[in-house]
Chains A and B, each alone.
Chain A
Amino acid sequence: MARGTDSYFDKLQRTRAWRSVFRSGSGYSTLHRALAIQQNVFLHLFSTKVRRRMLTFRATWYLGALTLGTFFILVVTGILLMLYFHPSVPQAYADMKDLKFVVSSGMFLRNLHRWSAHAMVFLVFAHMFKVFYRGAYRPPREFNWVIGVILLLIALLLSYTGYLLPWDQLAFWAITVGSNIASAVPVFGGKVSFLLLGGHQVNANALLRFYVLHCVILPLAAALLIAVHMWRIRKDGGLYVRQSEPRIEPSAGTLRDSQPDDAVVKV
Chain B
Amino acid sequence: MTEPKDYLAGVGSDIAKSQKRVLFVTRRTSTKVKVRDEEQVQTFPEALLRIAVAVELLVVALICASLLFDAPLEGIADPADTPNPAKAPWYFLGLQEMLHYFPPIVAGILIPALLVLALVVIPYFNVNIEAEGLFLTNRRRRLNIFYIASLGLSLFLLFFKVYVALVPTLIVAAFMLIAASSSLDSAKRYRRYLASKPASWWIMTWFLFELIVLTVVGTFFRGPGWSWVLPWKG
Instruction: Give A residues with C-beta under 8 Å from B.
Output: 30, 33-34, 36-37, 43, 46-53, 55, 62, 65-66, 68-70, 72-73, 89-90, 93, 96-97, 100, 107-108, 110-116, 118-119, 121, 125, 128-129, 132-133, 135, 137-139, 141-142, 145-146, 149, 152-153, 156, 159-160, 163, 166-174, 176-178, 180-182, 184-186, 201-202, 241, 245, 250-251, 253, 255, 257-267
| The residue from B43, B62, B69, B89 contacting A163, defined by CB atoms under 8 A apart | B89
* CB-based contact A62/B44 at 8 Å: no
In the bound complex, do residue B132 and residue A263 qualify as a contact, i.e. CB atoms below 8 Å apart? no
Chain B window 108-134, contacts with chain A (Cβ cutoff 8 Å), 1 for yes, 0 for no: 110000001001101110001111110
A-B contact pairs, 28 of them (CB 8 A): A37-B43, A49-B40, A50-B42, A50-B43, A55-B47, A66-B54, A68-B55, A73-B59, A96-B73, A114-B71, A132-B204, A137-B128, A139-B129, A142-B1, A152-B119, A159-B91, A160-B89, A167-B76, A167-B77, A169-B78, A174-B89, A177-B86, A178-B88, A181-B95, A186-B105, A186-B109, A253-B185, A257-B196
With an 8 A cutoff between CB atoms, is B67 at the interface?
A: yes
Interface size for chain B: under 10, 10 to 19, 20 to 34, or 35 or more residues? 35 or more
Name B's A-contacting residues (CB within 8 A). Answer: 1, 6-7, 23, 25, 28, 31, 34-35, 38-48, 50-51, 54-55, 58-59, 62-63, 65-67, 69-79, 81-83, 86-92, 95-96, 99, 103-105, 107-109, 116, 119-120, 122-124, 128-133, 136, 184-185, 192, 196, 201, 204, 208, 211
Closest residue of chain A to B99 (Cβ to Cβ) is A181
CA distance A146 to B118 in the complex (A): 11
Q: In the assembled complex, how far is the CB of residue A201 from the closest CB belonging to chain B, in whole angstroms?
A: 7
A164 to B, closest residue via Cβ: B77
B51/A266 in contact, CB under 8 A: no
Q: A142-B123, A184-B109 are in contact. Are A93 and B76 (CB under 8 A)?
A: yes
CB contacts (< 8 Å) of A100 on chain B: these are 73
With beta carbons under 8 angstroms apart, the residue of A111, A177, A259 that contacts B96 is A177
| Given known A108-B66, A115-B62, A265-B6, contact A46–B88 (CB-CB < 8 A) | no
B122 touches A33 (CB 8 A): no
Q: Is the pair B129, A119 in contact by a Cβ cutoff of 8 Å?
A: no
Instruction: Name the B residues within 8 Å of A97 (CB-CB).
Output: 73
Q: Which A residues are CB-close (under 8 A) to B103? A: 184
Are A34 and B42 interface neighbours, CB within 8 A?
Answer: yes
| Closest chain A residue, CB of each to CB of B105 | A184
| Highest count of chain B CB atoms <10 Å: which of A163, A172, A180 | A172
Among B44, B58, B66, point to the contact of A111 (Cβ < 8 A). Answer: B66
User: With A111-B65, A168-B75 in contact, is A46–B43 under 8 Å at CB?
Assistant: yes
Do residues A55 and B50 form an inter-chain contact, with CB atoms below 8 A? yes
Of chain B, the residue at the smallest CB distance from A254 is B184
Measured between beta carbons, the chain B residues less than 8 angstroms from A36 are: 44
Is there contact, CB below 8 Å, between A258 and B86? no
Give the complex CA separation of A181 and B109 in angstroms. 7
> Given A93-B77, A149-B119, A251–B88 Cβ distance below 8 Å?
no
